[in-house]
A and B are shown apart, each in its own frame.
Chain A
Amino acid sequence: MSQTVDAIATQGLRKSFGQVKALDGLDLTVAQGEIAGFLGPNGAGKSTTIRLLLGLIRADKDSGPARVLGQDPWRDAVELHKRLAYVPGDVSLWPTLTGGETIDYLGSLRGGLDATKRDALIERFELDPTRKNRTYSKGNRQKVALVAALAADAELYLFDEPTSGLDPLMEAVFTGCLSEIKAAGATVLLSSHILAEVEKTCDTVTIIRAGRAVESGTLADMRHLTRSQVEVVLRGPAAALARVSGVHNLQVSDAVRASFACDNAALEAVMAELVELGIESLTCTPPSLEELFLSHYSVPAAAPSQLAAGPDRHGAGRRSDSESGPAPAQPASGSDQNASERHSSSGANAPAVASNEEA
C-alpha cells in the first residue's frame, strides 16, 4: 500500500512574537483530499498558522516540525508554492490595476493560469474584470482573490475567511468550487468565522485557541457523540418514551406531544418506537456546529487575566472577548485551563452539548 503524505502535518509548532506566544505547541494534521475547517476566536493563532505554512514567517527555534505536502514550508517555499494556492482574508489590491490584470499578474508568478478556467470563474463569480481595483467593493476584491487562486491548479488550497464580503449567491458559487476541488483530489484548509459554511463543506474541523488545538476530528465523529433534537406528535401516549434508551430530557405536553434529545447512535431504534406508537408529525434536527463549538469561544470565569465584557446573559458559558490588543499572552493559569479542555472528540463533549440544550 502506497504511503500518502499528509497535506499538512505540524507537531508542537511554536511561534512567538517578542513576549507574545502566538502558537504554543500546535498539532495540526490534514490528510490529502480532505476539506479541513480551521476555527478559533480572534487572536487564537489561525492567521499565524497559515502564514507559517506559507513560509512568510518562520517557526521558533525550539518549535516542533511542520510539513506541507511533505516539504519544509520555510526552506522549500518556492518549490512548494508551485503546488499551493492561497486566498487571504481582507484583501488588498494594487489600486491602479484592473481586476483582470491583477489575476493575470498573480498567475504569471506561477507561470500562467489556464485561460479557460480563469474566464469561466470570472463569469461564475460575476466579476467585471475591466474595473480598476480601487473602484471595487470589498466583495469584489474578494472575488478577484478567489479567481486568482481557484484558477490555479493546486494540490493544496489555503483559504483565510474567503467569503467575507460575499453575498449568499456568491457563497454558493464558492461552495460549488470547493466541491470541484475535492472531486479533483486536492486538499483544502478553510479558516472561517462562518460556522454554517464550515459545517456544510468541511470533512474535519480543528479548533485552535491560545495557540493550541483544543478540538479536532470529523464533524461526523463529533456529531455522532452528540444528540439530535426531536419534536414529535404521536397518536399514542408520549409518556411511554421515557423508558426508551437513548431518549433524554423528555418533555411531554398534551399527552401526545413530546420533545426530547436523542442519542444519534440510538436514533434508528427510537424512530422504530415512534413508528409503533404512531406518528402524527415529526421533526428531527441535528446539533449545529455553533452549539457544539461555541463553548470553545467563551472564556471560563476562572482565569483572572482574561478580560470579560458585558453582563452574562445565558448562564452557561460566558460570552466574552478573549482578545485585547495583540495576540493574548496566555499566562500559566490560562494554559492549565486549556490542558483540561484539550481533548479530541471525546465523550466530554456530550454533556456540554446537553447542558446547552437544557438552558
Chain B
Amino acid sequence: MTRTGGQPDGAAATEAESQPDGIGQSEGSRPDHVVDVKDLVKRYKEVVALDHFDLSIDKGEIFGLLGPNGSGKTTAINCILQLLTYSRGEIKLWGEPMSPTRYDLKRRIGLVPQQVAVLPELSVTENIDYFCSLYVDDKARRRRLVGEAIEFTGLERFAKFRPKKLSGGLVRRLNIACGIAHQPSLILFDEPTVAVDPQSRNAILEGIRRLGAEGATVVYTSHYMEEVEQLCTRIMIMDAGRAVAVGTNAELKSMVGIGERIRVELDFPDDAVLAAVRALPHTQHASLSGQTLKVACAPGARNLADVVEALDRADVSYGRVFSEPPTLNDVFLELTGAELRD
C-alpha cells in the first residue's frame, strides 16, 4: 500500500492508491496547480520507468523529489518537459495541456540539468545569452536579463571567462544562470549539488531560496536529504516509478515510527540503567554499545526528559547527551528500503 496526499490545506499525509478516485484527482485541475501530472506511464521496452505516476505542485512551492537511482525522477521531469514520449498520461501546466509545441508554456519553465551543459567555447556572458535567446527574442530585454542572472549567481567577476577556467562550483552556478536567466515561473533543478563543495552548495541553496521568495515554483531533485529537509516546502518520495509518500517534512516524519534517537555517553556501562530506560513508556528500543547508551523512542515531548530523569535516579555519571529527531533519511530508508526487500 502506498501513501500519498499532501493537501494544500495542510491536512496530514494520507494513504492513497493509484486508483483514479484518489483524493484530489477527481476534482479536476485547479488554477493554482502549476504542475498537474495524472497517470503517467513511460516504458522502455520491458522496463517500466513511470508506473501510473501522479504529481501535483502548487504555485510558490519548493517541491522536493526524492528517490533511489532508477526510481524515475529524471524520467518524470523529462516527460514534463516533453523530451520523452510517454504511452499514457496527462500533463498540464498552469492548467493548460502540455505538448512539445507549446512554446508559450516552455518559455515559463527553466531547467538546471544534472550534467553541466554549457558551451565550452563561449564565455560566461555569451553562454547565458545563448540559452536565454532560446526563450527571449527581444535583444534589449535579454541583455538586461543576462546581467541580472550574472548578478544573481555572483559571477560578475567571471563574466568574460570561459567555462574551463572556472572551478566546479562556479561552473555549476553558470549552469544555473543559463537555466534561469529568462526568469521562468517554474524551475526544475536536477541534482544540482552532486560533488559540489559545501560552500558552493550553500550558495546554491541560498539562491534557490531567493528564487522561491521571488515567487517562482521550484522542483528540486536530490539525494542529499539534509538539503531537501532545509529547503523544500513539500516533498515526494518516489520508488519504482511511483509516488510512495508526499507531504511536508513534518508530515513525512510522522509516517515513520521513530520519534527521536537519544545517545548518552556514560562514564561506565551500567545494566541497571539500561533496564530502567527500557522500562520507560516511550522507549521502542534501547541498547548499550560500549559506554554509549542508545535509545530509540516513539514520538513524544518528554523523551529526553524521561531519560535524563532515569539517569539521575540511577545516580549514574555521564558525559554528553544527544537527541536526534528522525531525519528524512530515516523516512526514506523505512519507506523505500522496506519495499525493496519484499
Contact = CB atoms under 8 A, between A and B. Distances in A.
Judged by CB atoms under 8 Å, the answer to whether A and B touch is yes
Interface in A166-202: 166-172, 193-196
Interface in A236-275: 264, 267-268, 271-272, 274-275
B195 A169 contact: no
A323 B322 contact: no
Contacts of B324: 285
A275 B302 contact: no
A161 B319 CA distance: 33
B170 A281 contact: no
Given A168-B223, A284-B322, A321-B170, A307 B157 contact: yes
A145 B165 CA distance: 29
B202 interface: yes
A166 B69 CA distance: 7
B322 A324 contact: no
B97 to A, nearest CB: 31
Interface in A18-73: 41-43
Interface string B299-342: 00110110011011000011111111100010011001100100
Contact of B167 (A43, A223, A224): A43
Interface stretch (A4-12, A107-115, A290-298, A331-339): A290-298
B107 to A, nearest CB: 27
A319 B202 contact: yes
B197 interface: yes
A217 interface: no
B304 A311 contact: no
Contact of B305 (A228, A282, A313): A282
A85 to B, nearest CB: 21
Interface in B101-153: 153
Interface string A88-116: 01100000000000000000000000000
A129 interface: no
Contacts of B203: 309-310, 319
Interface residues of A, number: 57
B225 A168 contact: yes
Given A267-B321, A323-B169, A324-B158, A168 B332 contact: yes
A271 B323 CA distance: 13
A300 B69 CA distance: 39
A281 B196 CA distance: 38
Given A167-B223, A309-B155, A193 B195 contact: yes
A140 B69 contact: yes
B309 A279 contact: yes
B222 to A, nearest CB: 10
B68 A286 contact: no
B50 to A, nearest CB: 17
Contacts of B200: 321
A277 to B, nearest CB: 11
B223 to A, nearest CB: 5
A166 B260 CA distance: 26
B103 to A, nearest CB: 30
A345 interface: no
A167 B68 contact: yes
A114 B223 CA distance: 31
Given A271-B312, A309-B157, A42 B69 contact: no
Contacts of B19: none
- Shortest beta-carbon contacts, A-B, top 10: A310-B154, A279-B305, A309-B154, A323-B167, A281-B301, A167-B68, A282-B304, A297-B199, A164-B195, A282-B305
Given A164-B194, A323-B167, 7 more contacts: A268-B317, A279-B305, A286-B320, A298-B199, A310-B203, A322-B199, A325-B166
Interface of A: 41-43, 89-90, 137-140, 161, 164-172, 193-196, 223-224, 228, 264, 267-268, 271-272, 274-275, 279-286, 290, 294, 297-298, 307, 309-311, 313, 319-325
19 contacts: A42-B168, A90-B195, A139-B69, A167-B68, A168-B223, A168-B332, A170-B69, A171-B223, A172-B333, A172-B337, A267-B319, A283-B304, A283-B323, A283-B325, A294-B198, A297-B198, A309-B157, A310-B154, A322-B199
